[in-house]
Structure formats: C-alpha cells, structure tokens
A and B are shown apart, each in its own frame.
Chain A
Amino acid sequence: MTHWLIAPILIPLLGGILQVFMGYAPISLRRTLAIATTVLMLVSAVVLLALASDGSYRVYAFGNWQPPFGIVLVLDRLAALMLVLTAVLGLFCHIYASGGADEGNRQFHALFLFQLMGLNIAFLTGDLFNLFVAFEVLLIASYGLLMHGGGTSRTVPGLHYVVLNLAGSALFLISVGMIYSVTGTLNMADLAVKIPQVTGSNLNLVKAGGMMLLVVFGLKAAILPLCFWLPKAYARATAPVAALFAVMTKVGIYAIVRIYPLIFGDNAGELANLGMDWLFPLALVTLSMGVIGALGADNLKTLVAWQVIISVGTLLAPISLGSEDGLSAALFYLVSTTWTVAALFLVAELVASQRGTAADKIVTAPKIPHRTFLSVLFLIGAVSASGLPPLSGFFGKLLILKSVEPGVEMAWLWGVLLVGGFLTLIAYSRAGSIVFWWNVDGHLETPEPMNNRVAVSTGILTCLTMLIVVLAGPLSDFTRATAEQLHDSQGYINILKTPMHTPQNPLVEEIN
C-alpha cells in the first residue's frame, strides 16, 4: 500500500485550507502559495502516472479496512491519466487567474484548490458513494467559482446550474440506493462481482438504478437533452474558471468509462452493456446539436462553450460502441480536446479584453493591439478543435474514425463526425475572420494592457496541442494500454484480494 495515492487529494486540501485563513494576506503571497500548491499537485500526479504505467492496480484503503468494507482509492492508468490532465490544466488556469482574474474575491484560490481536490477524489475513488461525495465537493466549489467576479448576467445561469445539479444529486442518491438495496455493496470491484449474480425481480431494480446512474453522468457530461444549461453558464463564467470547467464535462465521461465497462461490462450477464444502445445515437445528436449551436453563436465564448458539447458527442460515440480501439481513441481525443477547449476560452477572454466595448462579440471592430499574437493562438486552437491536420485534434478524430468497424454505426459516425467537423471549421473561420480581419476605422477605448502571466499561460496551453502531436506515439501507446486495462475487469476485481498490513495490536492479543 503506497501512501502516494492520497497526495493529489491532500495537497490541494491543505493548500486550500491555508488560503481560507489567508484571506487578508497580501495578494502576491496568496498567489505564490496557491500556484506552489498546484505545482506540487502536478508533481504528485506525474509521480502517480509513473507508478501506474506499469499496469498494476494500486490500492489505498482508508483506515486500513480491507476492501470492500472500507472506502478505497484505486490508482490505475485511467486515473493517473486524468490526474495529470487535470493538474496541467489547473496549473495554467491558475497562472492565468493570478494575472488579475482572482481579484475581487478573497476566497478565489481556496475555491479553485477545492475544485481541483474534488476532481482528484472523483478520479481516484473506488467506491460509488464516495464518487457521489466527490461530485458534491467539486460541484459546491464550482458553484462558487461560477459566480466569481459578480455581475448580474451570471446569476440566472448560475441558478439553473445549481438547481439542475441538485436534482442530479437526488437522482444519483436514488440510483445508489437501488443498487445497494440489491447488491449490499458500493465498492466498484465488489459490484463487478455481485451484479452478474443478480437474478429475478432484482434484475429490474439494478437495471433501473444503472440507467438512472447513466442519466446522472449524462447530466454532468452534458449529453443532448441535458446540455442546455452549459453554453450560458460557461460563456458567462470568468475565463480561467470556464477553462477549468472544460474538464468538468469530462468527469461525467470518466465516470461512464470507469463504471460501465467494469460493472455493466461484457461479463454482467443479463445486464451486459446496459444503456450503451441509447448512448450511441444520443452522442451523435449531441454532436450535431453542438455544431448547430457553434454556427449560431454570436460571441467567441459561446462558440467555445458549444465546442465543449461537440467534444462530448465526439467522445461518447466511440465509447458507447464498446470496442477497445474506440476507447483508446476516445481517451487520446479527450486529452487533446480538453486542453484545446480550455485554451480557446482563455484566448477568447484575451481578445475580449483588447476590444473594448465590442468584447468577444463576433462583430467588426477597430484593429486590436497584439493582433498577430492573439490571432495565431486562435488559429492554432481553431485548427485543433475542428480537427484539421497537423494538430492533435486531427489525430484524435482520425483514431476515432479508424476505430469503428464497418457497418451502420460506421456510416453514421463517419458522416456526422466529418460533416460536423467541416461545419465547425466554417463557424471558426467566420468568427476568426470577422474578429481579426474585418477591421473598421476608428480607435478602441483604452484596451487593458496584457500582462505576461496571462499571455504566457494562454500561449503555452494553446501550444500543448503541438506537444501532443510530438508525443503522439507514447500517448497513444498509453491510451491503448489504458483501454486494455479497462476491458480486463478481472484486474480491477482482484483489488479485493489486496493483502492488508495489520499491525500487531497488544490490546487485541490481551483480549484473546
């Protein structure tokens, strides 16, 4: 049992608590400490990635209780990948925020760190109820972050977001209750053992529970009938917060990838591949809806917010087909799209800060300062997001297209993905040419000066897509190994047999 597993949870927790008590300290000190915390978290995530890449499962049992009796943290390749993805994203968003967006709310850094902690718990936990708690931790921090910066335009989308997620939590609890009432366990490995043994009328209870769980994860991931809260909420959030939220929908996708192949996988008897028939058409419709939204967007941030929905559809389609190749391709695209979308949110905010009253609306305006820098960043982001070569979005989509086997599904997926990609390209070219090229005469009212932290963090986050291209070989090897590990559910079930170190307790011996 290695104690490193809890580091990505403890580091932001302690850092966040420190920030709570430092509300009145000088802002430079708070920023330094907060960013140091995020850097430490990134280090711990990279260490865990190195540990996990040998392909074995590592278990951390709270209170040294043998699973399935206690809550466990489980580290495997998928968890490590998500941890590093989030930590890198969190670091750049944090640096961007320290360029000025964190002013006006003394608890910004605390909320930001608690948000990262919630995400890390969700990725590491091996217990269904603990996953619920992780969702609540990351949600309550996200409510605070969403409202950060004030402004009346954020209240109504914030209210919708909170009410929807509270209703989602209620559904989550109901489905957890249903599954527990039949199986008597909430440990994911134990569920994978118990669910195939369910028979008779109990089968329908578990089925209902499993489907409701899919609705909850669908709400988090913003699948079509449950996605309308997203564009307004994300488009109106402060840029670093919106960029961090790029990973929030991926938590829903992570939960689907974690739970469904394991618990309702091929071995689950009558409940095998529960809900996946529904997911495929919904994913394609979500993708189309996202494209339509992107074409109709009237400002840059809304455009990027719809891109979040497009990427959700693109990710879920291959996942729902259940093949190992599809899962591997989706994980590759997940890394690429999360960083790209986050970078586009930051670029949109930078453009808005330079354009005075035109802000990020897609309208003509006088020539902006730093036009070359900003337009190149937007170009890189747009090329990667719409899936053009030579950037990472292209490779992700190519892998997804290659992963489907010939058949009806292939025709639908290829059609929707390719036409969708083309229309997204139109949306980006229209937005980019109007914002950067169609300049009218006149001058802007005092654009805000761009400081180094903001420019550098946006630049590096945007260029990560090139890094993915350079490292495409190792990354796709890793995602392939991850998909293999996820499909071999026996490996996860074996964590139940983890030997626990039981220290000799003199009291127990005396009683005996």
Chain B
Amino acid sequence: MELLFAIAIGALTTSGVYLLLRARTFPVVMGLTLLSYGVNLFLFASGRLATGQQPVIGTTASYSDPLPQALVLTAIVIGFAMTAFLVVLSLRNLADNENDHVDGRREATTSPSKIEQEVSSK
C-alpha cells in the first residue's frame, strides 16, 4: 500500500509540475489542480497509512490520527476556492489579451483577426 500511495503522489506531483510550467493558462490550471491532489494525499499520509482504524481513542485497540484528516479537509476547501478564482482570472486573461498565453503574448500566426483576414481574402 505504501508503494502504491507513494507512486500515486509522485505521479500526481510530477505531472502537476510539468503542466504548471506550460505556457498556456489551461494546462497551468490543470497542473495546479493535480499538484494540490498530490499535496492532499501527502498530508493525509503524514498521519501514517492504516486500514480499518477509527480516528477515535478507545473504540479499537489502535487508532488513526484524526488531525491530518482535518488538515486535508481545510486544504481541499482552500484549494477549491483558489482554483475557482484562478479559472476566472484565466478567462479574464483570455478576454483581455485574445490569447491564453500566461505572459499575455500575442503570436502573429494564431491571432484570430489574421486568420479571418486570410479566410476573407481567399
């Protein structure tokens, strides 16, 4: 279970960081989402992995740590709100710059007005 868990966190974080470094806002949003999934799993694992244990003292012989679960819950809520804000901001960037490049660059070949001109001239 530990191996599977570690591989899952690693894969999520790697893909998250890779996508975060892309030049378009959509992959960046996806990357941050994956990164936050990886981070949430990591936080969850900081209370040690176990199955069938309750987070209540005294009900079973051994119990699992309830605090990381509370931390993860907080992190999920915050991450969700931040992602929502980032999506709106990316849409705003798209509207302002007619392009979803993270630096707001306009590339001559992909500018919609030029394509329209070419189409109309044909």
Contacts and interface: CB of A to CB of B under 8 A. Distances in A.
Interface in A148-198: 152, 155-156, 158-160, 162-163, 166-167, 169-170, 173-174, 176-178, 180-181, 184, 186
Contacts of B81: 140
Contacts of A143: 85, 89
B119 to A, nearest CB: 27
A174 B39 contact: yes
Nearest to B103: A156
Nearest to A137: B78
A314 B49 CA distance: 45
A152 B96 contact: yes
B35 A159 contact: no
Interface in B57-89: 65, 67-68, 71, 74-75, 78-79, 81-82, 85-86, 89
Contacts of B71: 129, 173, 176-177, 180
SS of B interface (majority):
helix
Contacts of A180: 46-47, 67-68, 71
B18 to A, nearest CB: 13
A122 to B, nearest CB: 15
A180 B71 CA distance: 11
A65 to B, nearest CB: 13
Contact of A167 (B20, B42, B45, B85): B20
B15 to A, nearest CB: 13
Contact of A181 (B32, B46, B97): B46
Contacts of B42: 173-174, 177
A155 B105 CA distance: 12
B78 A136 contact: yes
Contacts of A140: 81-82, 85
Interface string B99-122: 000111000000000000000000
Nearest to A143: B85
A173 B86 contact: no
Contacts of A167: 20, 32, 35
Contacts of A181: 45-48
A173 B78 CA distance: 12
Interface string B5-17: 0000000000000
Interface string A5-35: 0000000000000000000000000000000
Label chain A's interface by main secondary structure.
Answer: helix
Measured as residues with beta carbon below 8 angstroms from the partner, the interface class of chain A is: 20 to 34
A155 B98 CA distance: 12
Contact of B43 (A136, A152, A177): A177
Interface residues of B, number: 35
A331 interface: no
A156 B46 contact: no
A156 B97 contact: yes
A133 interface: yes
A132 to B, nearest CB: 8
Contacts of B102: 156, 159-160, 163
A147 interface: yes
A173 B93 CA distance: 28
B78 A169 contact: yes
Given A166-B32, A174-B39, A177-B46, A155 B93 contact: yes
Nearest to B16: A170
A152 B97 contact: yes
B72 to A, nearest CB: 9
B39 A170 contact: yes
A162 B86 contact: yes
A155 B92 contact: yes
A448 to B, nearest CB: 25
B57 to A, nearest CB: 12
Nearest to A157: B104
A290 to B, nearest CB: 23
B9 to A, nearest CB: 10
Contact of A133 (B74, B93, B96, B103): B74
A290 B34 CA distance: 34
A111 B52 CA distance: 44
22 contacts: A129-B74, A133-B74, A140-B81, A140-B82, A143-B89, A152-B97, A155-B89, A155-B92, A155-B93, A155-B96, A156-B97, A159-B102, A160-B102, A162-B85, A163-B32, A166-B86, A170-B32, A173-B42, A176-B71, A177-B71, A180-B71, A181-B45
Given A136-B82, A155-B97, A166-B86, 7 more contacts: A136-B78, A143-B89, A156-B102, A160-B102, A162-B82, A177-B71, A181-B48
Interface of B: 20, 25, 28, 32, 35-36, 39-40, 42-43, 45-48, 65, 67-68, 71, 74-75, 78-79, 81-82, 85-86, 89-90, 92-93, 96-97, 102-104
Query: Which 4 residue pairs spanning A and B have beta carbons closest together?
Result: A181-B46, A177-B46, A152-B96, A156-B104
